[in-house]
């Protein structure tokens, strides 16, 4: 029994020593630096892993090379910000064609006055005859007159009444011109002997004012025979009126005797309205009938 007790006591001491040594070892190991060495995997596995990494690097390099020359290089990693390049369209340089408008022209259908402004009170610039063609530069607001330029020298520019014209071209696109201010009214005319024949004396009357000559009372006296003839009319010869710058003819009634070689005295009272009304002016002229 003594031996068994001593044996048990010896095993117990041995166990305590082993446990104590383990505790000391663990305690020392917690305070000392240590290195973890990877031992998982054989040398063959390590070589295979290295080869896989090498192939992956080669594939990445090949992909980058292809991206410089080919379309497949557009793919990028998700965490990279690549600005999208939107192709800029270059506008085509197409020439803008401005439509060419046909020039507006006026064909004169009968003799017509062309004046400084669109009214009879303006000075006469030119008289265009039937068949003349002029360029239309403008129009008045009422579109009753054209502002024109002659097709010859181009030096004549004036206002033409549209009533006696036939137009061609885009007259609706012709700009509206503002005429000059109307001149103050002036009543004046000049008398000139024209000639005699068949016992009738003829006198020219030219309107040098800006009011129309629209009616008259004229007396013709043969100073040799003493015969006095009078005519009153709302027309001046064949004209209903004589506008500014124009000339008309006033003819006497028929004398009882041939007045050729006789001194004739003529008085003409011309007025700007019918019935010898409006502004009126009287002038005399003497001449020897031929």
Indicate the DSSP class of residue 150: E
Average pLDDT, the chain: 78
Which of 5-9, 48-52, 85-89, 120-124 bottoms out in mean pLDDT, i.e. has the lowest?
85-89
Q: Which domain holds residue 270?
A: 189-288
Contact 201, 264 (CB under 8 A): yes
* 275 and 240 in a common domain: yes
227 and 168 part of one domain: no
Bridge partners for 205 per DSSP: 191, 248
Q: Are 259 and 289 in contact (CB under 8 A)?
A: yes
Dihedrals φ, ψ of 144, to 5°? Answer: -100, -15
pLDDT at 215: 97
The helix/strand/coil state of 48 is helix
pLDDT exceeds cutoff 70 at 30: no
What Å distances lie between residue 234 and 52, 111, 143, 213, 274, CA to CA? Answer: 125, 22, 29, 9, 5
- Total domains, the chain: 2
> What mean pLDDT comes out for the span 13-34?
58
pLDDT band at 120; cut points 50, 70, 90: confident
Whichever domain contains 255, its CATH number is: 2.60.40.10
Do 228 and 166 share a structural domain?
no
Please check whether residue 146 is in contact with residue 184, taking contact to mean a CB–CB distance below 8 angstroms.
no
pLDDT (tens digit, 9 = 90+) per residue, 60-110?
444 444 433 333 333 333 344 444 444 434 444 444 444 455 789 999 999
Q: Identify the sign of the CA torsion 122, 124, 130, 134.
A: negative
* Any domain includes 218: yes
Domain end, chosen from 149, 173, 197, is at 173
Per DSSP, the three-state class of 173 is: helix
Q: Could you tell me where the DSSP H helices lie in the chain?
A: 2-31, 43-69
Q: What is the pLDDT of residues 209-267, one digit of tens each?
A: 999 999 999 999 999 999 999 999 999 888 889 988 889 999 999 999 999 999 999 99
Q: Which two tokens stand for residue 184?
A: 């103050």
């Amino acid at each position: 029994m003594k031996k068994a007790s001593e044996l048990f006591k010896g095993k117990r001491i041995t166990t305590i020593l082993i446990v104590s040594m383990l505790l000391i070892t663990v305690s020392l190991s917690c305070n000392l630096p240590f290195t973890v060495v990877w031992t998982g995997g054989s040398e063959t596995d390590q070589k295979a892993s290295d080869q896989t990494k090498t192939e992956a690097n080669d594939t990445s390099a090949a992909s980058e090379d292809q991206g410089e020359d080919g379309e497949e290089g557009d793919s990028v990693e998700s965490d990279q910000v690549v600005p999208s390049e939107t192709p800029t369209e270059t506008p085509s340089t197409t020439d803008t064609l401005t439509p060419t408008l046909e020039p507006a022209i006026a064909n004169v259908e009968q003799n017509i006055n062309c004046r400084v402004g669109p009214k009879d009170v303006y000075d006469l610039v030119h008289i265009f005859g039937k068949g003349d063609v002029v360029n239309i530069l403008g129009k008045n607001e009422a579109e009753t007159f054209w502002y024109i330029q002659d097709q010859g020298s181009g030096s004549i520019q004036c206002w033409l009444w549209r009533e006696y014209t036939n137009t061609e071209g885009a007259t609706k696109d012709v700009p509206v011109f503002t005429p000059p201010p109307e001149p103050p009214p002036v009543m004046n005319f000049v008398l000139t002997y024209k000639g005699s024949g068949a016992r009738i004396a003829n006198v020219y009357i030219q309107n040098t004012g800006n009011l129309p000559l629209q009616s008259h009372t004229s007396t013709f006296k043969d100073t040799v025979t003493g015969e006095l003839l009078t005519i009153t009319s709302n027309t001046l010869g064949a004209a209903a009126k004589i506008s500014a710058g124009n000339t008309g003819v006033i003819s006497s009634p028929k004398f009882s005797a041939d007045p050729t070689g006789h001194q004739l005295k003529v008085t003409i009272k011309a007025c700007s309205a019918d019935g010898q009304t409006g502004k009126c002016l009287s002038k005399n002229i003497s001449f020897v009938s031929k």
